Chain A
C-alpha cells in the first residue's frame, strides 16, 4: 500500500542510505537549528535522532506560533471571551496556553463561548450564522497562516460581514532568526521552514549567509527531506560555502507565492511584536493596515494590564532561543506535562517540550 508522494519520502532503504552518507560526511561537531515546529514534530515522530551520529546536534527554534505567543495575548483573548456577546474562534492548540491566571480551556469549561476551528474561513462562517454576536478569530501563525487570514478579512469585507473581527498576533520569521543569531547561540546551519518559504520564497533567508555566514536549507517535512537537508547543510559547512539552498523544491521557489504575498501586503503591515522567550522583536509582527482596522478586535476589547510574566522556573525562553533543551528544565515531565502545561512549549504538539515528552523523554 502506498500513499502517493508521501511514502516515497519515508522509504526506509533511502533513509538508511542518507544516514550512512551523513555519518561519512560528518567530520566535525555540528549544531543545526530547525526553526519550524512542524520540523521539530517530524524529527521526533520519525525517530530521526536515532539515525544520526552523536556529533550532530539538532536544536529546536522558535517556530511554533503557539509557543511564542505571549501571556498578554492570552489575557486579551480571555478578556474578550468574557464580554457576553462574543464567540471566540481559535485553532485548537491555543486553548491550553496559560495566560496570567487561566487558559481559554478553563474559560470554556466555565461557560465562555470558545470554538475550535481549522481556518479563518470557518470562523467567518460562524459570523454569518450568528449575526447578533461578535465573532473574534484568534489570528496567530507565521507567513504560512497569515495569507489565509488576509483572504478571510477580504472576504468579510466583500460580503459586508460586520460582526467578524480578528485578534491579530501573526508573526514573521526572519527577524526572530536574526535575533537568535545575534544572541550568539552556536548554529552551523538552519533547517529553514518549508511552508513559510512556500509563501515567501527562499529569498527571505538570503541575509543569513550574506550577513552571518550561516548556511540555510529550505526543507520539506518528510524524513527523507530532513535527512537530505542535513546532508546538504553538512556539506555547506565542510566546504565553508554557506548559501540558501532549496531541498523542498516540490513546493518552494526563490520568489514564492506571489498572490499570497499580495493578499498579505494589502491587509497587513509590519509592527513590533512580543515573542515569548525573546521579548519585543522589531518589525516582526503583522497588524491590520488602516483600510482594514475596522476588523481589529482590539478596538473593543477592554484594556488588560500588559503582563508578559511567566513562571520563573520555566526555561521555555532559553529553549526557544536554542540555548537549552527540555530535559534541562526542572519542571519538565514533573510539574509541566501536556495536560498541565506551565510553559507554552509543552502546549502545542509542535512545541519542543511536548514533542520531547511524547517521543523521546524516556528513550
Chain B
C-alpha cells in the first residue's frame, strides 16, 4: 500500500516531527532547531515571522471559536519567541454552502481579539472550494513582530543551565477537553471552557520587569509533555518535574480519568512553559500570578545535568516515570 498522510501526522508528536524534518525542512533547505517563529535579521531589532493553520472541529466551542483561536495562536507564537507581535495576515478556505452568519461571527471575534492583543490584521486571502472539498472553514494566519536582537536565545533555550526552574501559567488541558466536549456533545457537570487567549501582554509585563526568562514555548498541540521533550532534546539537558505541582482543573481531571487521557499531553491555547533562571523563579511567578491569565501559575520542575535528554516525573503518588514524546493521537481505553 502506498504511504498516505494519516491523522497521526497531525498529532503534534513523533510523526509530526518526522514529517517536518524529513519533508519540509529537507526540501526547503531549512535547519533545526525548530522554533515557533523564524527570526529575520535586520539592524537594531530583528523581524520575527510565523504562520499557523487552524482546522478545529467544531468551529465554535466553549470559550472561543476558530477565528479567536487563529489570532491568539499566532500572537502567542510570536510572543513566546520574545517578540512584540505587530501584524497579521489571514487566509480563509471556505466550503461552498458555509453559513455567512457563522463567518460573520468568526471574523468579528478575530477583529475583537486583534484589538485586544494590539495587533493589526493587514492582509488576507479568501478561497472557496466545492461542497465536501473542505470541512466548513479552515483559516491560516501569519504574523510578524519585532524582537530585540539580544533576545534571540529565548526561542532556542541555549542559555538554559542545570538548576533553572520550569514554570507554567495555569491549569492544563482545558482547551482540548472543551473542544472534545463540543465535538461529542458531552455535557460536563461543571462546564469546561477553552483557555484560548492572547498572552502577549502578560509576557510583556514579565519580560519588562525581570530579565530571568531563558526560554518560552506555548503548550498547544502535544501539550506540556511534548514541549518538555522538545526542550530537553534542544538543550541536551535532563528535566525533572513533579506531578503534584502541575495544576489541572477538577472537571478536566475527571474527563481524563474516564476517557483515559493524560492532561500532560492535552492541547492548551493560553498556556506557556517558561524556563526561569535559578534564583529569579519567585519573581517571575509573582509577576505571572498578578495577571489574570497567570493566576494559577506554578513552578513544576527544573533542568538538570543528570539524565541527559530525558524527562522524568515524580508521580503524584511518590513513584517515578519517564515522560516520553507522545506517539499518534491519544486513544480512549476500553476496559
* A residues in contact (CB < 8 Å) with B: 1, 3, 6, 10-12, 15-16, 19, 36-38, 41, 44-51, 64-66, 91-93, 96, 102, 105-106, 109-110, 116, 118, 140-142, 144-145, 195, 223-224, 337-339, 348-350, 357-363
Write 13 A-B pairs (CB below 8 A) sorted by A numbering: A3-B250, A12-B318, A15-B318, A36-B335, A44-B321, A46-B319, A47-B320, A48-B317, A93-B331, A109-B4, A110-B1, A361-B324, A363-B322
Chain A residues, CB < 8 A from B332: 91-93, 116, 118
**With an 8 A cutoff between CB atoms, is B289 at the interface?**
no
Which residue of chain A lies nearest to B310 when distances are taken between CB atoms in the complex? A362
Which residue of chain B lies nearest to A6 when distances are taken between CB atoms in the complex? B257
Which residue of chain B lies nearest to A144 when distances are taken between CB atoms in the complex? B335
Interface flags, B301-323, vs A, CB<8A=1, else 0: 00000000010111111111110
Alpha-carbon distance between A294 and B54 when the two chains are bound, in angstroms: 45
Inter-subunit contact A363/B312 (CB<8 Å): yes
Chain B interface size, as a band, is 35 or more
Distance in Å: Cβ of A165 to nearest Cβ of chain B: 19
Residue in B262, B318, B321 with the greatest tally of chain A CB atoms within 10 Å: B318
**With an 8 A cutoff between CB atoms, is B254 at the interface?**
yes
Chain B residues, CB < 8 A from A49: 319
Alpha-carbon distance between A15 and B262 when the two chains are bound, in angstroms: 21
Alpha-carbon distance between A140 and B334 when the two chains are bound, in angstroms: 9
Alpha-carbon distance between A116 and B183 when the two chains are bound, in angstroms: 13
With contacts A3-B250, A339-B328, A362-B310 taken as known, whether A50 is within 8 angstroms of B333 at the C-beta atoms is no
Chain B residues, CB < 8 A from A1: 247, 250
* Residues 271-329 (chain B) with a chain A CB within 8 angstroms: 310, 312-322, 324, 327-328
Contact among B253, B310, B312, B315 for A46, CB-based, below 8 A: B315
Q: Which 5 residue pairs of A and B lie closest in terms of their CB atoms, listed nearest first?
A: A47-B319, A223-B317, A92-B331, A47-B321, A338-B327
Distance in Å: Cβ of A338 to nearest Cβ of chain B: 4
Contact among B15, B315, B331 for A349, CB-based, below 8 A: B331
**With an 8 A cutoff between CB atoms, is B55 at the interface?**
no
**With an 8 A cutoff between CB atoms, is B31 at the interface?**
no
Other contacts beyond A45-B321, A223-B315: 14, CB < 8 A: A1-B247, A3-B254, A15-B318, A37-B335, A38-B333, A44-B321, A46-B321, A47-B313, A47-B315, A48-B317, A65-B335, A337-B327, A348-B334, A363-B320
**With an 8 A cutoff between CB atoms, is B244 at the interface?**
yes
Inter-subunit contact A48/B319 (CB<8 Å): yes
Inter-subunit contact A93/B8 (CB<8 Å): no
**With an 8 A cutoff between CB atoms, is B259 at the interface?**
yes
Contact among B6, B310, B322, B334 for A93, CB-based, below 8 A: B334
Contact among B259, B324, B333 for A362, CB-based, below 8 A: B324
With contacts A38-B335, A118-B259, A145-B334 taken as known, whether A51 is within 8 angstroms of B318 at the C-beta atoms is yes
Inter-subunit contact B322/A359 (CB<8 Å): yes
Inter-subunit contact A349/B333 (CB<8 Å): yes
With contacts A339-B8, A339-B327 taken as known, whether A350 is within 8 angstroms of B321 at the C-beta atoms is no
Chain B residues, CB < 8 A from A3: 250, 253-254, 257
Inter-subunit contact B333/A358 (CB<8 Å): no
Chain B residues, CB < 8 A from A46: 315-317, 319, 321
Residue in B8, B247, B330 with the greatest tally of chain A CB atoms within 10 Å: B8
Which residue of chain A lies nearest to B312 when distances are taken between CB atoms in the complex? A363
Inter-subunit contact A45/B318 (CB<8 Å): no
Which residue of chain B lies nearest to A12 when distances are taken between CB atoms in the complex? B318
Alpha-carbon distance between A41 and B330 when the two chains are bound, in angstroms: 14
Chain A residues, CB < 8 A from B317: 10-12, 15, 46-48, 223-224
Residue in A11, A50, A145 with the greatest tally of chain B CB atoms within 10 Å: A50
Which residue of chain B lies nearest to A37 when distances are taken between CB atoms in the complex? B335
Which residue of chain B lies nearest to A109 when distances are taken between CB atoms in the complex? B4
* Residues 236-270 (chain B) with a chain A CB within 8 angstroms: 244, 247, 250, 253-254, 257, 259-260, 262
Chain B residues, CB < 8 A from A11: 317
Distance in Å: Cβ of A284 to nearest Cβ of chain B: 16
With contacts A12-B316, A118-B259, A339-B327 taken as known, whether A359 is within 8 angstroms of B8 at the C-beta atoms is no
Distance in Å: Cβ of A28 to nearest Cβ of chain B: 23
Alpha-carbon distance between A118 and B262 when the two chains are bound, in angstroms: 17
